[in-house]
Structure 1
Amino acid sequence: MKEKTPAKDSTAKRPGRPRTKPAEVRLDELMAAAEKLFLEKGVEATTISDIVESAQVAKGTFYHYFSAKTDLLEALGKRYTERFMSSLERAMSACAADDWVGRLQVWVYANVETYVKTYQIHDIVYTNHHHHDRSNQAKNAILDQLLEIIDGGCRAGVWSPPAPRVVALLIYSGVHGATDDVIAARTKNIKPFAHSVSEACLQMLNPAKKAAA
């Protein structure tokens, strides 16, 4: 008599997707949901319940990462700065390492372009941060990036500003302040504006070649 094939155990484990997402993925989804809601409804009108519902997580998950909505805003601010600086680095990576004029021009253009694209979230996460704010870490990080370009050009003899840090402060504040004007005017084509700003910034550095001409 032929033996019966044993029935498969329905309780046997089957390979499948993990039941929980990695912590960094869950955190990114939570922050993305909050950012979207802040842009749509405003920070004050958005509740923690709104955020966790949009991210499809339990409220306990929110409190695992943040103690309050203000902590989430701070984290969004840091992420904004990191992404802003990354966009500047990517733009400058197309220039030769010793092309200080090109790097400055690209840095200015990337600042204008990125700020125009992201000013709405910038205004949300940095509501109380102004260019003159001594505790503005975002400003300090981007300013250090600019100072590296200026110092490199000084060492190479490309320009010779009498006070590099003062010029860097003026360029930083000038670029962002001028871009606010473009944003307010809802300018569609920012290329001519960005070019004019970069040329003005270059003149502030007292280029050696033009000074000798």
Structure 2
Amino acid sequence: MDKQTIYKKQTASKSSRTKPAEVRLDELMNAAEALFLERGVEATTITDITDKAGVGKGTFYHYFASKNDMLTALAKRYTEQFVEAVQQAIDACDAGDWAGKLRAWIHANVETYVKTYRTHDIVYNHHHHHDRSNQAKKDILNQLSEIIDGGVAAGIWAPAEPRVVTLLIYAGVHGATDDIIAAQLESHALFAQNLADACLKMLPARAEN
């Protein structure tokens, strides 16, 4: 290793130590995510990650025991960011607009998934996304359950089995979005609108006395 390279590594290491811990961690994870997307997980080494982040290996091992440990953290971050993006769309609706909230949940799920599916596939293909105990699925399902249960409590909808409808809408939205990703469909907004129309038909209105 030449002197210039050594100097750059030392300078980067000193600079990284002056940053807050959460900034260093975020930059390290951003570097790993970018490399995983570019090269794949198996082809990316810890040295590659620390070099791109401009930190030493000691910084990596301060936060993570291994590359798999980092993948677990990336999966958790991905889920948190996904749920937050969907929640922001829901919160933009009026408090009692349950149909609007459901449409917002569907639109945000479609748009966010389409934009981030490559990261999704990387972090979850290594963590058995279809495991029945998957926490990411639970978090997103909880958002949907709150909307459907809220509409039922408000007397807007009266499905015989709210939980069954919740599961069907969840599976349908994510399965349908996988299909448009594979088809490379450009009009996501129209697709999401049609999908929301179909999902709302699964929620019958309460019968008038």
Task: Name the TM-score, length of structure 1 as normaliser.
Answer: 0.87
Aligned-residue identity in percent: 65
Match of 2:10 in 1: none
Equivalent residue runs for 1:150-189 within 5 Å:
150-189=148-187
Which residues of 2 match residues 1-213 of structure 1 at below 5 A? 20-127=18-125, 128-131=127-130, 133-208=131-206
Counterpart residue type for residue 165 of structure 1: R
Which amino acid counterpart does residue 33 of structure 1 have in structure 2? A
In 2 relative to 1, CA 138–19 (structure 1 residues): closer, same or farther, beyond 3 Å?
A: closer
Radius of gyration: which is bigger?
Answer: 1
Deviation sequence 1:144-163 (CA, Å, 0-9, x none): 11100011000001101111
Structure 2 gaps, min length 5: 1-14
Which stretches of structure 1, 4 residues or more, deviate above 6 A after TM superposition? none
Q: Conserved in 1, the CA contact under 8 Å of 2:93 and 2:100?
A: yes
Task: Report how far residue 18 of structure 1 moved.
Answer: 9.4
TM-score (norm 2): 0.89
Residues 43-89 of structure 1 show CA distances to partners (whole Å, capped at 9, x for unaligned) of 00000000000000010100000000011001000100111011111
Q: Assess if the C-alpha contact under 8 Å between 2:16 and 2:55 holds in 1.
A: no
Note closer, same or farther for the CA distance 1:178–1:18 as it changes in structure 2 (3 Å cut).
closer
> SS at the partner of 1:43?
coil
User: How big is each residue's C-alpha offset from its partner over 1:125-174, in whole Å with a ceiling of 9 and x where there is no partner?
Assistant: 0104345x212100001101110001100000110111111111111111
SS in structure 2 of the partner of residue 204 of structure 1: coil
User: Aligned partners of 1:61 and 1:18: how far apart in 2?
Assistant: 9
Alpha-carbon distance in 2 for matches of 1:137, 1:114? 18
Count of matched residue pairs: 193
1:47 is matched by which residue type in structure 2? T
**Structure 1, residues 5-48: CA drift from partner, whole Å, max 9, x if none?**
xxxxxxxxxxxx99611100000000000000000000000000
The one-letter amino acid paired with 2:149 is D
Q: Is the 8 A contact 2:16 2:24 kept in 1?
A: no
TM-aligned CA deviation for residue 207 of structure 1: 2.8
What is the CA–CA distance in structure 2 between the aligned matches of 1:67 and 1:143, rounded to whole Å?
A: 31
* Distance across 2 between alignment mates of 1:81 and 1:207: 32
Tell me, what secondary structure is at the counterpart of 1:126? helix
Output the CA distance in 2 between the equivalents of 1:62 and 1:202.
47
Q: Comparing 160-169 with 18-27, which one deviates more in the overlay?
A: 18-27
Given that 2:165 and 2:202 are in contact with CA atoms closer than 8 Å, whether structure 1 keeps it comes out as yes
Structure 1 unpaired stretches of 5+: 1-16
CA distance in 2, matches of 1:18, 1:49: 16
Which one-letter code corresponds to 2:160 in the other structure? Answer: P
